Amino acid sequence: IFIQPAAFVGVHGLTLATLLLAAAGTGSWRCRLGCVAALLAWAGFGALRLAGPAPIPPDLTAVLVQGNVPQGNKWNRDLALSIFHRYLRLTRDGVAAVHGPAVVVWPETAYPFLLDRDAPERAAIIEAADGASALIGSVRLDEHGRPRNALFAVQAGGAMTGVYDKWHLVPFGEYQPDWLPLPIQVVPGGGFAPGPGPRTLHLPGLPPVGPLICYEAIFGAQLVDRADRPAWLVNVTNDAWFGNSAGPRQHLAAARMRAVEEGLPLLRAANTGISAAFDAHGHEVAGLGLGQAGTLEVPVPGALPPTVFARLGLWGPGVLASMLLALGLLWRTPRHVEDESKSN
């Protein structure tokens, strides 16, 4: 209930409201009474939004594959073939439980080779998927020979029908920032090349999809192409770096908030977990925990109309913060309060 106003003001607005309520709660009884009223209104709005008509879902089931490959094994050349076969086996098992149209989703860099150069392996993926479309995380080399963290769309016969390149790269992990010159090269070869930005993939037989790779899911208002709104979001990630810590759980919570902000379902395939699916209200409709190998077969939920936050982005919380800043600068303590404080 309490996260539903994010559809209007985003997580930044929720944070601002939380701080204001905490501060007001230390004031007079009138302030505290106002806090109670604000919380009731907050909860009431959330309940009202959740009581609205449910969006119509597409006739599509997503098979989210969680391979559970330890970070130390992901780039081990001796294990690459066995990792690939593990994903093929999990894909067969997941698709076998689905009746009707399906799409298979593998996590970030799940394919351990260069997928765009491996036509037989793409065909093997589609065969394992029993002809269903597949969204596969892999690395590719661009025209300059630089690697890109990519999500490939593979369809009938192993044909590549779309590709998305990650554009929000991790500093010092995926690239070395130019704005911080260092005497040594922290990221070999300069790291990954960034993609052009948010993109909606239009693939035959599938509703338009907005891809997010790894921590791109933490950037509110920077997820989708505003001129080409998708019908659902897919987040592929590898959180194996963080082990059984707060990291995968925080990442999951951030992805959930993006679904509420945008009014779009978000489906998440994570290498070691947590894989999950959220509807457009942020309800978790399926999940697969940390450290498990398996699949989730999830009917893709429907999309809501564009939210206020989806239309305005950070302008809404930005205006609210500016108004409060101006109010704080113009605020004057009453004279009698100042005199009383000095006398004490």
Which residues are known to be catalytic? 108, 166, 214
Relative to beta strand 61-66, strand 159-165 is: unpaired
Q: Report the distance separating Cα 164 and Cα 256, nearest Å.
A: 21
Query: Are 140 and 114 within 8 A, CB to CB?
Result: yes
- Give the C-alpha separation, 287 to 267, whole Å: 10
Tokens at 275, concatenated: 């894989």
**171 and 177 in contact (C-beta within 8 Å)?**
yes
For residue 17, how many other CB atoms are within 10 A of its CB? Answer: 18
What tokens were used for 330? 């113009």
Q: Residue 306's Cα: distance from chain center in Å?
A: 17
Which ranges in the chain belong to alpha helices (H)?
Answer: 6-24, 29-50, 71-74, 80-96, 119-128, 246-262, 308-312, 315-330, 335-343
Cβ-Cβ contacts under 8 Å for 184 (sequence gap 6 or more): none
Contact assessment for residue 233 and residue 266, using Cβ atoms and an 8 Å cutoff: yes
